[in-house]
Amino acid sequence: MCAVTMATQQTTLGARMIQRTEVAPGLIIVQVAPDGWELPEFEPGQYTVLGLPGSAARCAGSDPDSVEHDPNKLIRRAYSITSSSVPRDYLEFYITLVRSGELTPRLFALEVGDPVLLGPKITGMFTLDSVPEDRHVMLFATGTGLAPYMSMIRSSLAEHRGRRVAVVHGAYHSWDLGYRAELATLQRICPHLEYIPLISEPADEPVAWSGHTGFCQDVWKARVIDQRWGFRPSPENTHAFLCGHPGMIQGMLELLLEDGFAEHSKKSPGQIHLEKYW
């Protein structure tokens, strides 16, 4: 859409995509800006809703719709915010394409300037709110499960030098490791932050991968964080966050429970925080 049309046509969906970066096929980082309203305050780690009408086109390479959609009805899904909560001109999201999905093939077809629904309500409990200031944090993610951690890191964790931070990010391939350059740079300039990327399919790499392989659970079992921090993360000194593939969440939960960590809830405070995307 040309800039003149964009400026004159206010969208009824309330927001527009202002940037789209393809990390790898089927993996994008998008920025969405409100059109004529202000974003509310939010806590890093929270999510909001993106939506498009059933009439919106699906991207090339996705499966056809399995059900017929009412062209006027909005399809909405939750997305964790990756951008900082400090400047709030736009929100950023890290999204994977579900080829058979209802919304993501439509989001992937959007171009810069296109209208998109951006929910005005930002919510969620997967935040650092319940972590005491003097506790270290381990952030375990697979795929787009990294999203809430990017907001936490960009908003406060990169500056908070009193606490150790370990970001463990698993993906199939090195090219699926979104935000790798930013996290590697932050690790270099923030001595309290450790970035531990790992891949599960090293045989596919065009150039030999020298980093960790396998799953987040393997990183925990091999005590990689202990070695980086110089001490063993324990329920007394550390909180753990888990977000991404259900298998990783379950596997990590079991390992952490064995090591004395407890799942956190409002009623029963603990040190393990979970966000389930599906």
Ligand X SMILES: Cc1cc2nc3c(=O)[nH]c(=O)nc-3n(C[C@H](O)[C@H](O)[C@H](O)COP(=O)(O)OP(=O)(O)OC[C@H]3O[C@@H](n4cnc5c(N)ncnc54)[C@H](O)[C@@H]3O)c2cc1C
Q: Which of 157, 221, 222 is nearest to 194 (CA)?
A: 157
Q: Which stretch binds ligand X (CB under 6 A): 7-15, 143-151, 203-211, 254-262?
A: 143-151
195 contacts ligand X (rule: CB under 6 A): no
Dihedral through CA 17, CA 184, CA 84, CA 18, nearest 10?
-10
78 contacts ligand X (rule: CB under 6 A): yes
Which of 51, 101, 170, 197 lies at the binding interface for ligand X (CB under 6 A)?
Answer: 101
212 contacts ligand X (rule: CB under 6 A): no
Q: Which residue number places its CB atom closest to ligand X?
A: 101
46 contacts ligand X (rule: CB under 6 A): no
Which of 15, 95, 137, 256 lies at the binding interface for ligand X (CB under 6 A)?
Answer: 95
Residues contacting 94, CB < 8 A, separation 6+:
23, 27, 28, 29, 80, 82, 144, 146, 147, 150, 178, 179
Helices (H), 153-264: 180-189, 216-221, 224-229, 246-258
Q: How far is the CB of 163 from ligand X (least distance, A)?
A: 24
Give the single-character DSSP code of 210.
Answer: -
Burial string for 169-186 (b: 16+ CB within 10 Å, else e) reads bbbeebbbbbbbeebeeb
Identity of the residue, 54 or 235, whose beta carbon is nearer to ligand X in the bound complex? 54
Site string for ligand X, 47-66 (x = CB under 6 A): x-------------------
Positions that interact with ligand X (CB under 6 A): 47, 77-80, 93-96, 98, 101-104, 143-144, 147, 275, 277-278
